[in-house]
Chains A and B, each alone.
Chain A
Amino acid sequence: MNVPSDLKYTKDHEWVRIEGDIAVVGITDFAQGELGDIVYVEVETVDETLDKDEVFGTVEAVKTVSDLFIPISGEIVEFNEELESEPEIVNSDPYDKGWMVKIKFSDAGELDDLLDDGQYKELIGA
C-alpha cells in the first residue's frame, strides 16, 4: 500500500498536498483499491467556498457512489478536468495525475487536524 510520507491524510481516505496557500486533494491508493474501477468523478463546486467536511464532489465506481469531503475550509479554485474523460487515472495514479481539486484554504490552523502518513497507515492497518 502506497502512503507517501510528504502528504497529509483524512479519515475519509483523502490525501492533501500543501503548495503555499493551496491544498491539492485526491483520494488515497487504499481508497481507489477499495472502490475498484472508477468511472466518474463529478465536481460542480469550482469557485465555491466550502467549510471543512462539506461535500465537494462525488466519485463513482462501477458499483458505488461516494461523496468527497473537503478536508480543509476554503475556495475550490480548480478541478482536474483530465478526470472528465479519463477517471481511471484515479486508479492508476492516485497521488499525482489523479488529483481532484485545488483548494485555496482559509484557515491554516485546520491543517493540524490532518493525519500524517504514520497515522493514516494505522487507520487502514497498513
Chain B
Amino acid sequence: MKNTALSHVHEALGAKMVPFAGYNMPVSYEGVNAEHETVRKTVGVFDVSHMGEFLITGPHALDLIQKVCSNDASKLVDGQAQYSCIPNDTGGIIDDLIIYRLNEEKWLLVVNASNIDKDWNWISGKNNMGAEMRNLSEDFSLLAIQGPKAVEAMQSLTSVDLSEIKFYTFEVADFAGIEHVIISATGYTGSGGFEIYCKNSEVEQIWNKVFEAGADFGIKPVGLAARDTLRLEMGYCLYGNDIDDTTSPLEAGLGWITKFTKEFTNSEALQKQKEEGVKRKLVGFELTERGIPRQGYDIVDAEGNAVGNVTSGTMSPSLGKGIGLGYVPKELSRSGTEIGIQIRKKVVAATVVKLPFYKG
C-alpha cells in the first residue's frame, strides 16, 4: 500500500487510517459529524493526494482531450477548469475528471485514484495524434481547503487575491512560501474553498502553514468519511458508486457535461440516447421515515416491486435524515415521487427530491 507524503502526519494526529484506492488514507480524525460541520461552518483541510494527475502537452493536447472527454474543453480559457467525463465505447463511463487549461498547449487532467491506470491506458490508446502525456500522479500532492472561511483564512499565505479566483478557475502562484502552486477554486463539498496542487516535497510545509494561518478560524483536518457525506449532500456523483462502466452520463444527470458540439468517444450513440430519452435516471431521494439507505439496497415502487438500486446513501449530518442517490425508471424520476427503500426486512418510505439535498 502506498502512503501520501502526509500519511505520517495523519497518523501523528491520531487519524483512523484505511486503505483506499491503494493508499493509506485518513478516514476520520475527531469524528465524521464534527469534521462535516467544520467544513460546512468554517474551514477544513483534506489530504486527497491519492488523486491522479496527467499532464497533456503539445500542439495536439486539446485534440486528444476533445476526443476522450464528453465536455467541450475548447470553451476553456487559460486559468479555467472544467468538470468532464471519459465515456467508454459501450455507453458507460471510464471516469469523471477535472480538466485544467494551463495554456493552449498545456493541460492538467485530474482523475480518480482508483482509475489512474485504467484512465492512463485508455487515453494513451486514443492518442494517435501525438499529444505528449505525463503521469504525475506519484509526484504531486493535493490538499482541499474547504469551507466558507477558506478565503479569509488562507489570504495571508499568498500574494494573489483569493476572493478574485472565481469558481472553477485557478491561479498558478505563490502559496505558503512555495512558488508555482496551483490554487484552484474547486472542490467536492459544496461549501466553497480551494484545491492546492503542489509537489510531494512541498506539501508538508504547505500543510503546516495552512494550519497556522487557519488556527484563528478553527481549521481542522477532515477525513474521507466526511468527504463522502459532504459530496453526497450536494448530490455529486462518486465514481464506482453512482457512475461506472455501465452507467451512461445522460442517465447519471451529466447531460450538462456531455456536449454534442464535437465528436468524442461514443458520442453518436449518446446523442441517439439523448434524442430517444433515457430509460432510467439517477435521482436523489430523502427518507421520510427513520432509517439509512446504503449502497446496494433495492429501491421499490408503490407496489413493492424492486425497480432500482441505491448507489450512495448516508445519514445526512446537516439534514439529520437518510439521503441517497439511485437509479429508477424514468417514470419514477420526477421530484415528489414516492418510492420505498428496502432496508433489511422492511420498506422505508422515501421521496424523490431535487438536488442538492443541502442548500446552504
Contact = CB atoms under 8 A, between A and B. Distances in A.
A62 B294 contact: no
Nearest to B346: A44
Contact of A36 (B16, B290, B292, B294): B16
A37 B344 contact: no
B32 A36 contact: yes
A84 interface: yes
A91 B33 CA distance: 12
A62 B344 contact: no
A58 interface: yes
B325 to A, nearest CB: 16
A65 B28 contact: no
A62 B229 contact: yes
A63 B291 contact: no
Contacts of B34: 37
A38 B47 CA distance: 24
A62 B291 contact: no
Contacts of A60: 292, 315
A40 interface: yes
Given A58-B344, A65-B294, A84-B290, A36 B31 contact: yes
Contacts of B292: 39-40, 60, 65
A84 B320 CA distance: 12
A62 B225 contact: yes
Contact of A62 (B32, B345, B346): B32
A44 B290 CA distance: 13
Interface in B213-236: 225, 228-229
B33 A37 contact: yes
Contacts of B314: 62-63
Interface in A78-117: 84, 91
Interface string A36-71: 110110101000000000000010101101000000
Interface of B: 16, 27-28, 31-34, 225, 228-229, 290-292, 294, 314-315, 317, 344-346
Given A36-B16, A62-B225, 16 more contacts: A37-B31, A37-B33, A37-B34, A39-B33, A40-B292, A42-B291, A42-B344, A44-B345, A44-B346, A62-B32, A62-B33, A62-B314, A63-B32, A63-B225, A65-B292, A84-B290
Interface of A: 36-37, 39-40, 42, 44, 58, 60, 62-63, 65, 84, 91
12 contacts: A36-B32, A36-B225, A37-B33, A37-B34, A40-B290, A40-B292, A42-B290, A42-B291, A60-B292, A62-B33, A62-B317, A63-B225
